[in-house]
Chains A and B, each alone.
Chain A
Amino acid sequence: MIARATGHLLQAALTVVLAVAGMQLLLLAAPGDPIDLLPNADQVRDVLQAQWGLDRALHERILATLTGDLGVSLSLRPGQPVWELVHRPLLRTGLLWLSGGTLLAALATLGAVSRRRLPRAAVWSLGALGTVPVFLLAHLAVGGFNDAAVALGDAGRHGWFPLPLNPSPLRTALAIAVLAIGSAALSDAYGSLRQRVDQLRDSPFALAAASRGESEWSWLWRHLGVAIAELVATRGPALLGALVIAEKVLLLRGAGSVLWDAAVARDYPVALGLTAVFALSVALLRAGTDIAADALSRGQADT
């Protein structure tokens, strides 16, 4: 058990190293650097290359990021420490991701364990809606609400879609909903959990438990726990990717949109710092869910 957990953690560490190195190589391979974006790049290149550490060797830069030295922003907010720049957006993204993931897992689980099957029309509608990619779903939601507001005329001008960072429960709710539903997230999760539940209900030990008069929940939660852990491990990283897009469309200033801006502005320290945090989160999530799944499977074997 301990050996397997150590293996998962080592795998997580390797993921982080590879992600940071990969991002660094991608940034270097992309044409242009942050100095190119300045109006008179030729005249300031020598001074800035030294000031910004762009003349440092590749391994030094990667090592610095991996050891927690995230440095300062070069072009997004010149001189501002990267952690200062990204910690709030990271928190915002983390909460959104958690909310979207929880909603997804809750809806899929509720649907899967329900004795009553969903009406065919509802399944079809959900499936059709779910096939729409997250970015398109978000755009459609924004367009729909705007059109509705226009239809209301002047009375509708209540600023439902306010400026970035202004509190907007509706916009946040939309982001969570499109994350949970879009890009086939919900239909896939529902499908796989439903199949698992159906298999479990038809299994001999389920029938035996039923004949003993035991409640279904006494054994179902344990098996379902493994399935949900697997779901989180596989769907979690995909949700993170979708979140980057949802943030851009819905003007939510999260880590995803900061990463996007940093890549466009060739702000290497910010892009690397965020990649390291994202990679660490995904790697720990996977390691955590794998360890949890191992523990639950072991529990099942014991019973």
Chain B
Amino acid sequence: MPSLRSLCLGLTLAASTASATPLRYAEDSAPGIINPLFTTNMTEARVQELIFDGLFTDGRDLQPTPRLLANYSVSEDRTQLTGELRSDVQWHDGNPLTADDVAFTIAAMKDPQTASTEAARVRFIESVEVTGPRTFRLHFDQPQLAPEARLNFKILPAHLFTSTTVSRADPFRQSPVGTGPFRMHAFGEDGSVILRANDNAQGVDLEGVTLREVADKSYQAQLLVYQSIEALVRVVPRDLATLESDRGVELYPYQTNSWWYLGMNQQHERWADPEMRQMLALMINVDELLRPIGTGDTITGPFVRSSPFYNHDVTKVPHDPDTARTTLASKGYTFDGTWWVKDGEPLTVRLLVQDDQEVGQDVVIAMQGQLQRYGVRLEPQFIDEASWKSRVWQERDFDVLLSQWTFDRNEDIYDQFHSQGSRNFTGYASEQTDTLLDQARQSVDPQEKRSLLQQAHASIAADQPVVFLWTLDSYAAVSVRVKNVQVHPFYFFTWAADWSVE
């Protein structure tokens, strides 16, 4: 019997040892604010994933699964969702979760004076009806094909705010209270965020999670190798080999809905001409550009290859410099032995790139070599994020840009390719594409939506408003001491409650 008791004690100690260490991970920049009303970047979104819960979350199969809801139903006309909150959920401060919290969150997000960065996520919710302490009904502005997929925004505690007009400076930003698996312990002046396991949450194996700001990606990899941290959210391609060969580190590939492109400003006469856009696409050898920067898939349209909306019948634009040369000659350009020239000016592509764009510099250098080989000059300009937002988003002040788009599960490309889209920086306008995107937005039939977006893919590819480049494979790197790891492709920590550190 004593030996059995010793065994039990040993097992208990082993179990407690397994969760005794917090998980430390690095981010490029510290979060400025931890309040889901004001999410600015993915660093903040990832921390929020640990502290807060939404009505729905993603299951391991990436399908929406109720998180705060005990049960729910969607009306037959799909314009209402009735829900009942779980009775076993409490806020980190011990208060119970109520339907008022749901109503407050949506009202605060919609309040113009709050100026929430997340307002667009709840625009489809016309009103909220609180029908009981834990029951509510959401009314939508139009029928929703899958409202569950849009109800993953984080719910806030109404009792900690005095009004739905919330200021960014509200103290909540530094001492957030959620219902998630981890609660806030400290928000350090160095930008570190220290979270502890939520005692009310069941099945959380980690003692806590600590975020540290490490601006330099190379150092992040070194810190992982030297066991100063346990996880890296995203490994840059140049560190892959080092981390792959380290026996203390495990790489986890994950697919993001993210793709790269070259966007041509169609307000400029040159790029308003579809033949000139086609010319640029023919001149660029996309496979050759992709090879040195990592592994991934080339794409022919605005979706990742694994997307249900990707149209596999659309053929890839071939690398065909001869046809590109013929196009240039037909447009009045002459080759002077080095450059293609028109009106005494060599053909110059002025390429705008964001300076923190991963591997952007490598792509630009390779592209510069390619175009120079065929007599086209490429002048790159690297600018910081604020300049990018101002020049590209506000003023449309660019010739050609190299960038990438990242989408959530909905893969809504309306803003990027509809003539009325708020992020249609290239100025692309096609009646056919507009109609397809409008119909896809309104469709409540999954098969019809899929067909419409596949047609939109073909329509956009034919017009070539941008040169579609590739999707890059993403890797997270996690210490082998961390067990049960599965990463969410967008929010990363969605299933972190199941992780443990030995």
A interface vs B, CB < 8 Å?
30-34, 36-44, 47-48, 51, 72, 75-80, 85, 88-89, 146, 149, 157, 159-165, 248-249, 251, 253, 257, 261, 264-266
Q: Per-residue CB proximity of B154-182 to A under 8 Å, as 1/0? A: 00000000000001111001100000000
A157 touches B226 (CB 8 A): yes
Contact flag A47-B192 (CB < 8 Å), given A37-B385, A161-B223, A161-B226? no
Answer whether residue B420 sits at the interface, using C-beta atoms and an 8 A cutoff.
no
A31 and B216 alpha carbons, distance in the complex (Å): 24
Min C-beta distance of B349 to chain A, whole Å: 21
A40 touches B226 (CB 8 A): no
B229 touches A159 (CB 8 A): no
Min C-beta distance of B451 to chain A, whole Å: 30
A146 touches B222 (CB 8 A): yes
A160 and B226 alpha carbons, distance in the complex (Å): 8
List residues of chain B with CB within 8 A of the CB of A89. Answer: 189
List residues of chain B with CB within 8 A of the CB of A42. Answer: 422
Q: Which of A32, A85, A89, A266 is the most central at the interface, judged by chain B CB atoms within 10 Å of its CB? A: A32
List residues of chain B with CB within 8 A of the CB of A76. Answer: 32
List residues of chain A with CB within 8 A of the CB of B213. Answer: 164
Binds A, one of B79-87, B113-121, B493-501: B113-121
List residues of chain A with CB within 8 A of the CB of B188. Answer: 165
B387 touches A32 (CB 8 A): yes
- A-B contacts besides A30-B386, A34-B386, A39-B40, 8 pairs, CB < 8 Å: A32-B385, A47-B113, A75-B32, A78-B168, A161-B228, A251-B215, A251-B216, A264-B385
List residues of chain B with CB within 8 A of the CB of A43. Answer: 115, 119-120
A78 touches B169 (CB 8 A): yes
Can you name 21 A-B pairs with beta carbons within 8 Å?
Answer: A32-B385, A32-B386, A32-B389, A33-B390, A36-B390, A36-B393, A37-B385, A39-B40, A41-B394, A51-B167, A77-B32, A78-B168, A79-B33, A79-B168, A161-B223, A164-B213, A165-B188, A165-B190, A253-B190, A264-B384, A266-B386
Min C-beta distance of A280 to chain B, whole Å: 22
Q: Which of A31, A39, A75, A253 is the most central at the interface, judged by chain B CB atoms within 10 Å of its CB? A: A31
A251 and B168 alpha carbons, distance in the complex (Å): 28
A31 and B113 alpha carbons, distance in the complex (Å): 26
B383 touches A41 (CB 8 A): no
A34 and B387 alpha carbons, distance in the complex (Å): 10
List residues of chain A with CB within 8 A of the CB of B112. Answer: 47
A79 touches B119 (CB 8 A): no
B40 touches A36 (CB 8 A): no
Interface positions, chain B 209-232, Cβ under 8 Å from A, are: 212-216, 219, 222-223, 225-229
A31 touches B219 (CB 8 A): no
A79 touches B386 (CB 8 A): no
Residue of B nearest to A81 (CB): B169
Residue of B nearest to A75 (CB): B32
B190 touches A164 (CB 8 A): yes
Contact flag A37-B119 (CB < 8 Å), given A78-B33, A165-B190? no
Task: Specify which of B117, B190, B228, B391 is in contact with A162 (CB 8 Å cutoff).
Answer: B228
List residues of chain B with CB within 8 A of the CB of A78. Answer: 32-33, 38, 168-169, 173
Q: Per-residue CB proximity of B194-216 to A under 8 Å, as 1/0? A: 00000000000000000011111
Min C-beta distance of A261 to chain B, whole Å: 8
Min C-beta distance of A32 to chain B, whole Å: 3
Task: Specify which of A39, A163, A261 is in contact with B223 (CB 8 Å cutoff).
Answer: A163
Task: Specify which of A32, A38, A163 is in contact with B117 (CB 8 Å cutoff).
Answer: A38
B386 touches A37 (CB 8 A): yes
List residues of chain B with CB within 8 A of the CB of A80. Answer: 169, 174
A33 touches B386 (CB 8 A): yes
A249 and B222 alpha carbons, distance in the complex (Å): 13
A85 touches B189 (CB 8 A): yes
Task: Specify which of A40, A146, A157 is in contact with B227 (CB 8 Å cutoff).
Answer: A157
B391 touches A31 (CB 8 A): yes
List residues of chain A with CB within 8 A of the CB of B219. Answer: 161, 251
A88 and B191 alpha carbons, distance in the complex (Å): 13
Task: Specify which of B40, B189, B215, B390 is in contact with A38 (CB 8 Å cutoff).
Answer: B40
List residues of chain B with CB within 8 A of the CB of A88. Answer: 189
Task: Specify which of A39, A47, A251, A265 is in contact with B214 (CB 8 Å cutoff).
Answer: A251
Contact flag A163-B214 (CB < 8 Å), given A47-B112, A76-B32? yes
Min C-beta distance of A257 to chain B, whole Å: 8
Answer whether residue B260 sits at the interface, using C-beta atoms and an 8 A cutoff.
no
Answer whether residue B388 sits at the interface, using C-beta atoms and an 8 A cutoff.
yes
Answer whether residue B285 sits at the interface, using C-beta atoms and an 8 A cutoff.
no
Answer whether residue B419 sits at the interface, using C-beta atoms and an 8 A cutoff.
no
A265 and B228 alpha carbons, distance in the complex (Å): 28
Answer whether residue B39 sits at the interface, using C-beta atoms and an 8 A cutoff.
yes
B228 touches A37 (CB 8 A): no
A261 and B219 alpha carbons, distance in the complex (Å): 18
A39 and B226 alpha carbons, distance in the complex (Å): 35
A159 touches B167 (CB 8 A): no
B422 touches A31 (CB 8 A): no
B227 touches A41 (CB 8 A): no
List residues of chain B with CB within 8 A of the CB of A48. Answer: 115
Q: Per-residue CB proximity of B383-408 to A under 8 Å, as 1/0? A: 11111111101100000000000000
A164 and B113 alpha carbons, distance in the complex (Å): 37
List residues of chain A with CB within 8 A of the CB of B422. Answer: 42
B212 touches A164 (CB 8 A): yes
B173 touches A36 (CB 8 A): no
A265 and B33 alpha carbons, distance in the complex (Å): 13
B167 touches A79 (CB 8 A): yes
A40 and B192 alpha carbons, distance in the complex (Å): 26
A264 touches B113 (CB 8 A): no
A40 touches B117 (CB 8 A): yes
List residues of chain B with CB within 8 A of the CB of A261. Answer: 29
Min C-beta distance of A126 to chain B, whole Å: 29
List residues of chain A with CB within 8 A of the CB of B192. Answer: 163-165
Residue of A nearest to B222 (CB): A146
List residues of chain B with CB within 8 A of the CB of A165. Answer: 188, 190, 192
Residue of B nearest to A249 (CB): B216
Q: Which of A38, A41, A72 is the most central at the interface, judged by chain B CB atoms within 10 Å of its CB? A: A38
